[in-house]
Amino acid sequence: MIISVASGKGGTGKTLVATSMALSLKDKGKVQLLDCDVEEPNAHIFIKPVLIRKEAVSIPIPKVDETRCNYCGKCAEVCAYNAIAVIKEKVLVFPELCHGCGACSYLCPEAAISEEGKEIGLVEIGSSNGMEFVHGKLNVGEAMAPPVIRKVKEHINPKRTVIVDVSPGTSCPVVESIKGSDFCLLVTEPTPFGLSDLVLAVEVARKLKVPCGVVINRTGLGDGKVDDYCYGEGIPILLTIPLDSGIAYLYSRGTPLVEGIPKWKETFLQLFSNIKEIVDGRDSQD
């Protein structure tokens, strides 16, 4: 089973929940943790893996042979991202805008465009006390996170329970991370900003046809509108975590919650059990 841990809003506690669940499951069976927040991965700070392998991530960028090009402009016409332009007798390529789709080279009538790899990040693979770990790192200044996320997800082990730590927001990297999950756990906080972004995240999960449930972090803060929204939408609230300075202190020290306060391990095991029950029930209905 693949469980993605996401949120519309940054700073809600996704990594807290993802690492706590993964570490709780570690002793109960085979588990794998993927950190797909490739712009600022931080799960490794808490589980302290031994990284044994690195893989570069590249995307194909067009290279124009101007001895063959007749400057017809077809390449610029088919590029959906404005990454290539034809000006008089000159072809301009903007690598920062290129998505590596290959349309320009495929449709060039003169076969004047080839492709060369541009490295945009890397994937690191390792383990932590028997738990498999994979994370991606997008190079500084690069804007294309999805190719790195896809490379991370290529390492999903179908024989293990997979926990995916997703980046904040609801943009392309989040969609790429959640896609293909059996369940999406949305971590939020009981504030107006938390609710606003939760609504957007729920819409993404529903568009992807991935069932979702909610974890409310820092309860005791804000109001009860998140609860009201979840009840009104029929979204299960699977866990609440109180606003607790002790939890915040552990997090600031890079200590996983279930190691700093061991009683939380049973709570996260029960959370996993509840998710499994929802997924199994959905599969039986299908």
Q: What is the pLDDT of residue 281?
A: 86
What fold is seen in the domain 66-111? Alpha-Beta Plaits (3.30.70)
What is the mean predicted confidence (pLDDT) over 30-58?
Answer: 96
Identify the three-state secondary structure at position 198.
helix
- Sign, CA torsion 268/182/255/242: negative
pTM above the 0.85 mark? yes
pLDDT of residue 286: 66
Superfamily of domain 2-57+120-285: P-loop containing nucleotide triphosphate hydrolases (3.40.50.300)
Q: Is the pLDDT of residue 28 over 80?
A: no
Measured over the CA atoms of residue 257, residue 260, residue 263 and residue 265, the dihedral's sign is positive
Q: Express each pLDDT in 89-108 by its tens digit.
A: 899 999 989 999 999 999 99
Tokens 């900003």: give the residue: 193
Which tens digits make up the pLDDT trace of 125-159?
A: 999 988 999 999 999 999 899 999 999 999 999 99
Q: Which helix (H) or strand (E) holds 213?
A: strand 212-219
Separation of alpha carbons 88 and 75, rounded Å:
14
Give the pLDDT confidence of 182-220 residue by residue, as tens digits: 999 999 999 999 999 999 999 999 999 999 999 999 998
Query: Domain residues of the chain, as ranges?
Result: 2-57+120-285, 66-111
Yes or no: say if 119 and 58 are a contact pair by the CB < 8 Å rule: yes
